[in-house]
Amino acid sequence: MSESAPSREVARRAFAAEFNDASYTFKESDDERAPLYALLPTGARANRVYVVGTLTETEDVGEDSEYWRGRVVDPTGTFFSYAGQYQPEAASALRETETPAYVAVVGKPRTFETDEGDTNVSLRPESITIVDAATRDRWVVETADRTLGRIEAFDGAASEGGEAAAPDEYATMAETQYDSDLSVYRDQVIAALEDLEETEVTAEA
């Protein structure tokens, strides 16, 4: 086991709609190697995320060398994933996977400011793995549970099961940075679960 293993961050689960709103990033120390966190609007920090969805499109957008972009869709929106020479396994997966396909992606959130002043959020994948529909369905249910848990913790309610309650400092930080209406994310959770039920009914028909 490498010395860095114990400090490896737990990969958070978040739906695309919330992940794409996580435009504020920060470090918790001045150390050059300190992890960079994205702040989820529901009040949790994320250095790594775990997402599962449908890889609908891949494209080599590099100019001088291969730089692959993948679109991974969940019931709430789209994750944009970028992999190049420093992520060879992920780049290879994007190059070789036939779309559409269910994939699981573990990666780090990255932000990019456009010329118009908007902040785009994307994923720098550590791994991309083809999975089955059951894995995708489980991810939707678990991500819904974790998201609702973060919202309840944010609102000061006792969170039962799922993810541990977010520290108050991150909820306060999210409130300051985003001024978000968390009911939007609650509605997206409900929509994602309803979408899952409809998919299951269609599959059984």
Find, among 51, 42, 48, the residue nearest to 165 by Cα.
Answer: 42
Q: What is the mean pLDDT of each run of 10 residues along the chain (205 residues)?
A: 53 97 94 93 96 98 94 97 96 97 97 87 97 97 96 67 58 89 95 89 66
- Give the pair of three-digit tokens for residue 117: 């002043």
Q: Choose among 69, 78, 79, 70: nearest CA to 49.
A: 79
Give the pLDDT confidence score for residue 6 in this predicted structure: 43
Q: For position 128, what pLDDT does the model report?
A: 98
Residue 127, strand partner residues: 106
CA distance 87 to 105: 13
**What confidence score (pLDDT) does residue 160 get?**
43
CA distance 153 to 57: 36
pLDDT at 179: 81
Q: Which of 58, 56, 78, 77 is nearest to 67 (CA)?
A: 58
Burial class from Cβ neighbours inside 10 Å (0-12, 13-18, 19+) for residue 98 reads exposed
Q: Which domains does the chain have, with CATH numbers?
A: 5-197 (2.40.50.140)
d(CA 84, CA 86): 6
- Residue 154: its pLDDT value, please? 87
